[in-house]
A and B are shown apart, each in its own frame.
Chain A
């Protein structure tokens, strides 16, 4: 992917920063490079760009003021939460304002009876569950970055997590988003009731990658914490068998609260790092969890054990205590950092496929490892077919980065080919914008642009992310017929 770095126009910078300083306190508007540097990328650090100006509003009124000013001056705005996103959705613009919601991190209300929390966008995902814990409640979506990622960012990306198989994505757990439009108007999508009149704009807003409006307040649903949970660790001597076992578990009639898979290279990396007690001889490991009342869990675990045994598991262990359950999960949750230890860099993919295609896609990935000469351990949210293959590379070697991106591109296109999607939960951002042209036809991309126009007719909110221009797709199409030779080799690559 080639994204050119934009130089800063200092005259424009002084104008925009000056205008914003009249509205926000002096320390809430940054433009000096030493201050703006830390905003140059999100979790996808291969892409970097200094923002022209950073604005840090502390309340909704200030968000309105920033947007009103930017709208008037025709300055693009990129909203940012905690900056943990993995697709470059919060990559700043050299001619734009980076709007950080980090200062808006108050839990405004927590209603244990109605089981809702009203929070500002900068509140971290985990902070909501922590605040709800004394009431026996929790906020269900649990992306692996939950200690750091903000709820505003979760709304922008429609984040999932290991428990979304049973509890759903952000979309299923948010009741209401209050937001400011690019024209600085406050709007409410959804409500504290279960539905709202008119079109379901809340569904559009969630996962819109900051391109429709800027969220300032979010009401989330809280669920009663399950009384207990138990996880099975099952070993398989063949990856495809493990894949089929996943389908069997799902078809058997119990929805597990988590159903994860890891191949041997991933399990080995993890075991060295956290000593979770994983079977390192297995070709693939499944983690299969049941939660609920003690009766439900007992029934669920018995049923799943039987299904896994029939599916050919070579070893099955059920956690016999909460500590052991946590230990089993610790390995899965540490998969990314563990892989980070065995390679200078890794590139995390996020395709989703129909579960039955798991074997096919794993064979494809193995072939790609050979083709590009790069290793690729695999971790999956297997229950919902969401893959996170991790390509290992060294970013200091431009050739490796190039091969990595082509490797990833081919895998994502394979996901589309088998009936899946290029992104299950990390978003398109800048990272997968070319693959959007593979997944969608021109008319569909035009309708997406129409949705964008309906909210933001001048295209000032996070332009260039999520939805490609047709021109870009045409160029990408040409790139592909030329056998992967990128046009304009003089442009910098990241």
Chain B
């Protein structure tokens, strides 16, 4: 494995010298995500495998090329999980990898209760644009030595370097889960989700669309049973519940197959319905709104901004409108400086996040 890193380092040094751009890629399951795909494909799957997994430490360390399915099955053997439920999007590529998961930084349904992917990153080993191998963070739960560069890599879309290894915090699988279904109009659903959010209920996921709200409870068996009584609604069969949440997490649910461009709108959870053209699907207790819509980008972005959030053209549509909400000039300046520090010749994933990076 060390020879892989050595080869990569040579390759990066040579490319930096000639400013030859690379497009970092694992299984390609998230090729659809981001602004532009530029540069020669740099396949990260040669550096694979789980480096260390110690269930009693609640930490797993693996290489960028490790398959996400491999990691999750190793963890489930010990009744543990990646609590942020990262989407695999297997239908869009040939199997998600750990590196791609970190670079995309996406979290699934459990994010509302457990936290985002970045919250679980404990440490990384990266190769920067000089071909140097650098380690930040570690394998322990608390670490404030130096700047939190490891979490900066989460969601950076590979613009700052090649993620070689990552240590993630693992969590125990909940002892019990139950999915309930309730009928509610959109505004009422948002109101109800926020009301529940302020109470100590073990809600681990929520998804509303087309007048139906799915709620997942996770935790101690007794707590799940007690909350079920408080929330009411129809209890789904366990397999039915699991299928429902997989559909949301992996975007295989019919909602996501409507053909219109898919917007991901991140808002304060209390934001009222946006009333934009197209179908919404609401997750994360109201904080995440998916929208299948042919509305023009400005309309969507303005509505998101007014509500205190931002909109991403997640999949499909015309990317020339800008996939990500534009940054304030002072922030863009910091982004450019950081890019220059980590990738001075600009060889990694040029333009994948913003055309300027």
Contacts and interface: CB of A to CB of B under 8 A. Distances in A.
Interface in B193-221: 194-195, 197-202, 219-221
B162 to A, nearest CB: 14
Contacts of A381: 142
B268 A253 contact: no
A232 interface: no
A454 B57 CA distance: 35
A189 to B, nearest CB: 8
Interface in A395-449: 419-428, 432, 436, 439-441, 443-445, 447-448
B320 interface: no
A386 B219 contact: no
Given A198-B353, A293-B226, 20 more contacts: A113-B198, A137-B198, A171-B119, A186-B330, A188-B328, A194-B288, A197-B312, A197-B327, A204-B147, A295-B222, A296-B202, A352-B142, A385-B141, A419-B140, A424-B140, A425-B142, A452-B147, A466-B147, A467-B146, A467-B147
B171 A136 contact: no
A135 B128 CA distance: 47
A198 B145 contact: no
Contacts of B20: none
Contact of B144 (A158, A186, A204, A293): A158
B173 interface: yes
Nearest to B119: A172
A179 to B, nearest CB: 10
A299 interface: yes
A448 B325 contact: no
A292 B219 contact: yes
Contact of A193 (B143, B144, B309): B309
Contacts of A427: 144
Given A188-B328, A454-B334, A428 B119 contact: no
A253 B172 contact: yes
A181 to B, nearest CB: 7
B115 A168 contact: yes
B250 interface: no
B270 A353 contact: no
B227 to A, nearest CB: 8
Interface stretch (A16-24, A64-72, A223-231, A334-342): A223-231
A191 B308 contact: yes
Contacts of B334: 187, 201, 454-455
Contact of A421 (B115, B143, B325): B143
A199 B152 contact: yes
A277 interface: no
Interface in B256-300: 266-270, 284, 287-288
A193 B268 contact: yes
A298 interface: yes
Interface stretch (A3-11, A244-252, A281-289, A370-378): A244-252
Interface residues of A, number: 96
B338 interface: yes
Interface in B128-183: 128, 132, 134-136, 138-149, 151-152, 154-156, 159-160, 171-173, 175
Interface of B: 54-59, 79, 105, 111-112, 115-116, 118-119, 128, 132, 134-136, 138-149, 151-152, 154-156, 159-160, 171-173, 175, 194-195, 197-202, 219-223, 225-227, 266-270, 284, 287-288, 308-310, 312, 324-328, 330-332, 334-335, 337-338, 340-342, 353-354
Contacts of A186: 330
27 contacts: A116-B268, A137-B198, A172-B115, A186-B330, A191-B308, A196-B266, A198-B327, A198-B332, A198-B353, A200-B154, A204-B152, A247-B57, A248-B56, A250-B57, A250-B58, A254-B220, A293-B222, A293-B226, A295-B222, A354-B57, A354-B59, A385-B140, A386-B142, A422-B145, A424-B143, A427-B144, A454-B334
Given A292-B220, A455-B334, A194 B111 contact: yes
A178 B43 CA distance: 39
A198 B331 contact: yes
A114 B194 contact: yes
Nearest to A447: B134
